[in-house]
């Protein structure tokens, strides 16, 4: 733990905290003094992250919640408020992809991807912002994607959801700024997690060769930027989307 932790006793909610980028974000908040609500589809999935934080001397709890389901989100935020306190920082990181060419895309895959990636963020913001408005302080961070601005063949659902998150970010920034709440987004490029595990080796090499920084990203590359946006140093930044892609889309 650092001498002057940036997030001492701040109640932080991280969705999609069981693996990949979300796990790294949650662990970093825990190491910097935050009281971290680790949310995943099941409590069991989120538990390894909460345990890792706890074992390093931090404070964390695991929650199972499908962020696309309004009643589950409401119930989870009520429990978080009871058990850790009212949320002060919210990281909407939960996400999934169901890729298919448009003509073959199943309606249920369109709906599921929109529900988790976009509606989930809306529901969590709605649930967290009540307490933030009362406290006249809050930090909201949405994890979008470079696909949200560039599009992706076979990813119409994912691109639409991630583009939607950028509009949501700007609208929330405008609506809640007067209450001391910032809302920003990060747009990762290709990060080595379960989500990109199936990328063929040839594609990985191509991405690494195209990116000026010469490699795929790691979860830690994204987490550091997320924590910056949620820190006091970013107190006058809102409505922004920062691309974290090693320069791939330059
Ligand atoms: P990941 O390793 O596949 O992890 C996804 C996380 O989201 C897991 O914790 C998963 O929980 C959770 N999740 C999925 N559906 C959920 C639901 N309905 N309710 C609650 N939690 C749910 O993904 P990742 O690569 O770390 O991606 C994290 C975020 O970054 C996503 O929003 C993704 O779109 C975005 N992103 C990733 C990349 C990349 O290259 N990896 C690039 C751009 C953007 P369970 O373990 O319980 O399933």
Q: Is the CB of 95 under 6 A from ligand 1?
A: yes
CA proximity to 70, closest of 130, 128, 122, 12: 122
Query: Distance from the CA of 99 to the center of ligand 1, in angstroms?
Result: 14
Query: Distance from the CA of 148 to the center of ligand 1, in angstroms?
Result: 15
Query: Distance from the CA of 4 to the center of ligand 1, in angstroms?
Result: 30
Helices (H), ranges, 136-155:
147-150
The pLDDT assigned to 4 comes to 80
- For residue 2, pLDDT over 80 is answered with no
Active-site amino acid positions: 158
Three-class DSSP category at 32: coil
In the chain the beta strands, taken as DSSP E runs, fall at 11-15, 35-40, 59-64, 89-92, 138-143, 181-188, 241-244
Contact 178, 184 (CB under 8 A): no
Nearest CA to ligand 1 atom 18: 66
Q: Is the CB of 142 under 6 A from ligand 1?
A: no
Segment 169-173 mean pLDDT? 99
pLDDT in tens, 126-147: 999 999 999 999 999 999 999 9
The pLDDT assigned to 202 comes to 96
- For residue 3, pLDDT over 70 is answered with no
pLDDT in tens, 36-54: 999 999 999 999 999 999 9
pTM (whole model) above 0.95? yes
């Amino acid at each position: 733990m650092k001498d002057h932790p940036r997030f001492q006793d701040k109640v932080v909610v991280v969705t999609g905290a069981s693996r990949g980028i979300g796990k790294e974000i949650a662990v970093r908040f825990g190491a910097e003094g935050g009281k971290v609500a680790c949310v995943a589809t099941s409590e069991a999935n989120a538990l390894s992250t909460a345990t890792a934080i706890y074992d390093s001397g931090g404070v964390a709890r695991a929650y199972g919640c499908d962020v696309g389901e309004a009643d589950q989100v409401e119930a989870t935020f009520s429990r978080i408020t009871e058990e850790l306190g009212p949320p002060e920082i919210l990281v909407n990181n939960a996400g999934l992809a169901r890729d298919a060419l448009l003509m073959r895309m199943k309606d249920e895959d369109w709906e599921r991807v929109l529900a988790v990636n976009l509606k989930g963020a809306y529901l969590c913001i709605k649930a967290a912002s009540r307490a933030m408005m009362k406290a006249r302080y809050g930090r909201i961070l949405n994890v979008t994607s470079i696909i949200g601005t560039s599009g992706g063949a076979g990813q119409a659902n994912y691109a639409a959801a991630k583009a939607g998150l950028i509009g949501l970010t700007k609208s929330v920034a405008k609506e809640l700024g007067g209450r001391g709440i910032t809302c920003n987004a990060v747009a990762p490029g290709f990060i080595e997690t379960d989500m990109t595990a199936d990328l063929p080796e040839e594609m990985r090499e191509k991405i690494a060769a195209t990116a000026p920084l010469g490699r795929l990203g790691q979860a830690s590359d994204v987490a550091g930027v997320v924590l910056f946006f949620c820190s006091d140093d970013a107190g006058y930044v809102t409505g922004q989307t920062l691309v974290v892609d090693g320069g791939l889309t330059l």
